Amino acid sequence: MIELAIAISILMLGMVSVLSATSGMHTLRKQNRERMLAQNAMRSVAERIHARSHQLSLQSNDWARDLADMFGPGGGFGNEFDVLGLTEADGDAVVGTIQVVTDETETDDTLDAQLGMPRDLNGDGDTIDGDVTADAVLLPVLLQVRWRGQSGTITLNHAFYVLRY
């Protein structure tokens, strides 16, 4: 009888260990899926911004202004985007946001990004212009995806430059 009790205890311990590992792998798989959805959405939006930037630079003398307007609040695309499969973080209206920076006096610290700012965005040899939409040749863009995930609120940032071609 004692041997049977010991064998059952060992079997139960093994089953609990397997269940715990399975649960942990399920949680990790879900977290990886969320991160993949966020990264794919940011990549897609970044490609759309690059394509639109190229198109506008060929069509418009006001490339920077048109781009900032298009991806700004109320613009043709807007400064927000949803990511199918992710839930907004508490207090947020959407999962993704877009910021086109047109102030060359901004710093990496104020933007919370590593872009080498402040930077001469209009090619005039200084970094003192507060609005370069009239003559920019380079614009920083910040994408952020923030969602309520398996392990709490998660934020991913992506910063890049678009060029006037």
Res 70: pLDDT: 92
Taking the alpha carbons at both ends of the chain, their separation in whole angstroms is 83
Exposure of 109 in the CB half-sphere (CA atoms within 13 A): 0
Res 58: pLDDT: 86
Res 43: pLDDT: 95
Res 96: pLDDT: 94
> pLDDT 10s digit of each residue in the chain, 165 long?
888 888 889 999 989 888 888 888 888 888 889 999 999 999 999 999 999 999 998 887 888 999 999 998 888 888 999 999 898 988 888 999 999 999 999 998 999 888 888 999 988 888 888 889 888 899 999 999 999 987 889 999 999 999 987
Query: Using CA atoms in the order 48, 94, 30, 28, what is the torsion angle rounded to 10 degrees?
Result: 100
Res 66: pLDDT: 92
The residue extents of the domains of the chain are 29-163
Residue for token digits 């993949």?
Answer: 36
- Going through the chain in order, the beta strands assigned E by DSSP cover 80-81, 87-88, 96-100, 138-149, 152-163
